[in-house]
Amino acid sequence: MTLLGLLFTLTCSVVMYIYNPEEPEGDFPDWVLIYVPVAMFLYQVNFSLFPLDHQNQVLDAADGIQARKNGTTSPLGMLFDHGCDMVSLFLILLFGLAVFRLQFDYNGLQSILLLLTFFIPAFFHMSETYFLRALHLPILNGPNEGILFPAVGCIVSYFTGT
């Protein structure tokens, strides 16, 4: 399930790379602005009527919940899951930059600080999972609500055309 979620994220990156407008004022095609949020929601967000009920996770978290329930967790599975999460985190960061028309300077200190802003908390959360055997996230957290920013940006851009 984690691999399938990563494939959704990879297809989003390919689609956004192909259809990324050359000029800053250019627009993405409408179907791209709908496909990307749907794929991101399928990757991470839980579909639940109750906000604190984490039983209905989609793709990324479903296999971890099932493995913990059955007692079949392994360090290799955790490494694979968290490795896919890191790749997805980088790609979702690029989605946000593309949707909000921000430039990613590949040589600058600003880019390094931007990446560290996202990867340092993720590293500590994954270290917490490894050492404490539990992940304690607040109600508003990066893995779930952090995906909402690029997704909402795509949806707003779809309706407003900007």
Third-level CATH fold of 2-160 = Four Helix Bundle (Hemerythrin (Met), subunit A) (1.20.120)
Provide the pLDDT for residue 5: 77
User: Can you tell me the distance from the alpha carbon of 144 to that of 46, in angstroms, rounded to the nearest whole number?
Assistant: 8
Tens of pLDDT, residues 107-145: 667 777 877 888 888 888 888 877 887 777 777 776 667
User: Can you tell me the distance from the alpha carbon of 3 to that of 60, in angstroms, rounded to the nearest whole number?
Assistant: 8
Provide the pLDDT for residue 60: 63
SS3 content of the chain, % helix, strand, coil (to 5): 65, 0, 35
Instruction: Indicate the domain borders of the chain.
Output: 2-160
Find the DSSP H helices in 19-147. Answer: 30-43, 62-70, 75-99, 109-132, 142-145
Which stretches of the chain score pLDDT less than 50? 47-56
Provide the pLDDT for residue 49: 44
Phi-psi group of 49: left, alpha or beta (phi > 0 → left; psi -120 to 50 → alpha; rest → beta): alpha
Q: Is 82 designated active site?
A: yes
User: Can you tell me the distance from the alpha carbon of 90 to that of 119, in angstroms, rounded to the nearest whole number?
Assistant: 8
Q: Which of 54, 82, 125, 136 is catalytic?
A: 82
Provide the pLDDT for residue 45: 59
